[in-house]
């Protein structure tokens, strides 16, 4: 599916920054792609194991995003945090339908999430469970998304994904472009359609499909996605979300603050300068 020309122009445009951000947020970047909320016309969730091999098939996902982005780790305080995305699926992952909550989009910058805040799982706990913090960097021109993931009675599993606008799934990491089903030994496989033994998805990523928001290798280890925290049920596994989204205009009456146009690079520089990092 091709992204409509209007959407392409929005992706190429600069972000709008609110002059006055809500006091509850360290620095909220409003209207990242213009004065719109966004809902998916197609999206998927794909997990790769630590070696980069697909696991559990591909889930179809519905997402709604208010179009804003957070800019500080302090905007996340564990379960009950401010959130600006909803995501859901009706497709089982390893036999269980997952839910997600406390989902936040982040603009370029460096972030650190305390994975022990959720409780109920072993992320960051115990001698062999690894670090307490999930540390990630969102490069200039990209976006990030953090969420808490509930699956099979294990709740508040931290996930993070880094998105590149208008890219193919896994662009830039030497992706495999295969025309047959993925196997357990096909690294960064892009084909998960008919014939895959896991969940089937008509919205599965493919070798040539460009997504408005495409999951990329978020930590430079050659595997698409960002590894989940050690100690949890999916420690070291990589969550990937890809989405094409449709804009909905925000009524003019909703504008309470003036806005100025700046690029994602400028947003990153502004955050760095004001926060001294």
DSSP-assigned states of every residue in the chain:
-PPPHHHHHHHHSPEEEESS--TTSSS-B--BTBSEEEEEEEEEEEEE-TTSBEEEEEEE-EEEE-S-BB--GGG--STT----EEEE-SSEETTEE-EEEEEEEE-SEEEEEETTSS-SS-TT-STTS--SEEEEEE-TT-EEEEEEEEETTEEEEEEEEEEEEEEETTTTS--B--SS---TT-BTB---STT-SSB--TT---SS-EEEEEE-BSSSSSSSBEEBPTTSTTBT-EEEEEEEEEEEEPPGGG--S-EEEE-HHHHHHHHHHHHT-
Question: What pLDDT is attached to residue 251?
Answer: 53
Question: What pLDDT is attached to residue 128?
Answer: 54
Q: Is it the case that residue 24 has pLDDT exceeding 70?
A: no
pLDDT band at 211 (very low <50, low <70, confident <90, very high): confident
Phi, psi of 62 (to 5 degrees): -110, 135
Q: In the chain, what percentage of residues exceed pLDDT 90?
A: 37
What distance in Å separates the CA atoms of residue 92 and residue 112, rounded to the nearest whole number? 30
End-to-end Cα distance, the chain: 40
Question: What pLDDT is attached to residue 25?
Answer: 52
pLDDT band at 268 (very low <50, low <70, confident <90, very high): low
pLDDT (tens digit, 9 = 90+) per residue, 212-266? Answer: 998 999 999 988 899 998 888 899 999 999 899 999 886 554 443 233 333 455 5
Q: Is it the case that residue 48 has pLDDT exceeding 50?
A: yes
Question: What pLDDT is attached to residue 21?
Answer: 34
Q: Give whichever of 75-89, 108-122, 127-141 has the largest mean pLDDT.
A: 75-89
């Amino acid at each position: 599916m091709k992204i409509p020309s209007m959407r392409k122009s929005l992706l190429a445009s600069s972000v709008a920054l609110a002059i006055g951000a809500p006091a509850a947020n360290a620095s909220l970047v409003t209207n990242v792609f213009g004065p719109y909320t966004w809902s998916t016309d197609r999206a998927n969730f794909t997990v790769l194991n630590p070696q980069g091999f697909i696991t559990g098939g591909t889930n179809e996902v519905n997402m709604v995003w208010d179009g804003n982005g957070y800019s500080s780790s302090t905007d996340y305080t564990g379960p009950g945090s401010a959130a600006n995305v909803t995501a859901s699926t009706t497709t089982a992952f390893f036999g269980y339908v997952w839910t997600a909550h406390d989902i936040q989009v982040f603009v370029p910058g460096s972030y650190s999430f305390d994975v022990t805040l959720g409780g109920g799982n072993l992320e960051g706990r115990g001698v062999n469970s690894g670090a307490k913090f999930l540390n990630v960097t969102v490069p200039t021109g990209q976006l990030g998304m953090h969420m808490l993931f509930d699956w099979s009675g294990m709740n508040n599993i931290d996930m993070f994904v880094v998105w590149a606008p208008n890219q193919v799934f896994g662009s830039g990491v030497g992706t495999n472009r295969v025309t047959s089903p993925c196997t357990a030994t096909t690294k960064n496989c892009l084909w998960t359609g008919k014939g895959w033994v896991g969940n089937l998805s008509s919205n599965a990523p493919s070798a040539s499909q460009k997504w408005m928001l495409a999951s990329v290798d978020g930590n430079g280890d050659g595997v698409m996605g960002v590894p989940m925290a050690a100690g949890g049920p999916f420690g070291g596994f990589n969550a990937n979300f890809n989405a094409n989204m449709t804009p909905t205009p925000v009524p003019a009456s909703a504008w309470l603050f003036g806005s100025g146009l700046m690029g994602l690079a400028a947003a990153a520089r502004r955050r760095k300068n004001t926060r001294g990092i």
